[in-house]
Chains A and B, each alone.
Chain A
Amino acid sequence: MSKTDLEACAECDLLLNPARPALGEKARCPRCGYLLQRPRKQSIERTLALSIAGLILIFPANLLPLVGIKILGNTRDGNIWSGVAALFGENMWGVAVLVFLASILFPLLNIILSLLISGHLYFKKPNPHLARWMRWLQHLDEWAMLEVYTLGIIVACVKLASIAELKFDFGLYAFIALLIITGMLSSSLDEYLFWRHIGELRQKVGHES
Chain B
Amino acid sequence: MENYARKLAMKVEKSALTQGLIRCHDCGRLAKQTSHTNHCPLCDSRLHARTSNSFQRTAALLLSGVSLYIPANIFPIMTVSQFGVGEPHTIVGGIIALIHSDMIPIAMLVLIASILVPLLKLLGLGLLLLCVYYRWQVNARLWTNMYRIIAFVGRWSMLDIFMISILVSLVDLGGVAQIIAGPAATAFAAVVVLTMFAAKSFDPRLIWDSQQ
Residues of A whose CB lies within 8 Å of any CB of B are: 1-8, 10-17, 31-34, 67, 69, 71-72, 74, 76-78, 82-87, 90, 92, 94-96, 98-99, 102-103, 131-132, 134-135, 138, 142-143, 145, 148-149, 151-156, 158-160, 162-164, 191-192, 195, 198-199, 202
Contact = CB atoms under 8 A, between A and B. Distances in A.
B149 interface: no
Contacts of B196: 142-143
Interface string B9-33: 1000111110111010111111110
Contacts of A163: 82, 177
Contacts of B169: 78, 82-83, 85-86
Nearest to A83: B165
27 contacts: A3-B5, A6-B8, A6-B9, A6-B21, A7-B23, A8-B23, A8-B30, A10-B28, A12-B140, A12-B144, A12-B207, A17-B9, A34-B144, A69-B170, A76-B173, A77-B170, A83-B168, A85-B169, A87-B165, A90-B168, A95-B181, A148-B156, A151-B159, A158-B106, A163-B177, A198-B42, A199-B42
B20 to A, nearest CB: 8
Given A69-B171, A135-B26, 15 more contacts: A3-B5, A12-B204, A13-B23, A15-B14, A17-B9, A31-B141, A74-B176, A92-B185, A95-B185, A98-B193, A99-B162, A134-B43, A149-B158, A152-B160, A195-B43
Contacts of A142: 155, 196, 200
Contacts of B61: none
B21 A3 contact: yes
A155 B109 contact: yes
Contacts of B207: 12
A158 B167 CA distance: 11
Chain B's interface size range is 35 or more
Given A31-B141, A86-B168, A86-B169, A10 B13 contact: no
Nearest to B83: A72
B29 A195 contact: yes
Given A87-B165, A202-B42, A8 B15 contact: yes
B181 A152 contact: no
Interface of B: 1-2, 5-6, 8-9, 13-17, 19-21, 23, 25-32, 42-45, 82, 98, 101, 103, 106, 109-110, 113, 140-141, 144-145, 147-148, 155-156, 158-173, 176-177, 180-181, 185-186, 189-190, 193, 196, 200, 204-205, 207-209
Interface centre among B13, B106, B158, B200 (most CB of A within 10 A): B158
Given A155-B109, A195-B29, A199-B42, A33 B173 contact: no
Given A11-B144, A12-B205, A148-B158, A78 B21 contact: no
Q: Is the interface of A mostly helix, strand, loop or mixed?
A: helix
A71 B164 CA distance: 18
A11 B205 contact: yes
Contact of A11 (B8, B193, B204): B204
Contact of B170 (A1, A78, A145): A78
* 5 A-B pairs with least C-beta separation: A152-B162, A83-B165, A8-B16, A131-B43, A86-B169
A203 to B, nearest CB: 10
B32 A3 contact: yes
B173 to A, nearest CB: 5
A78 B147 CA distance: 37
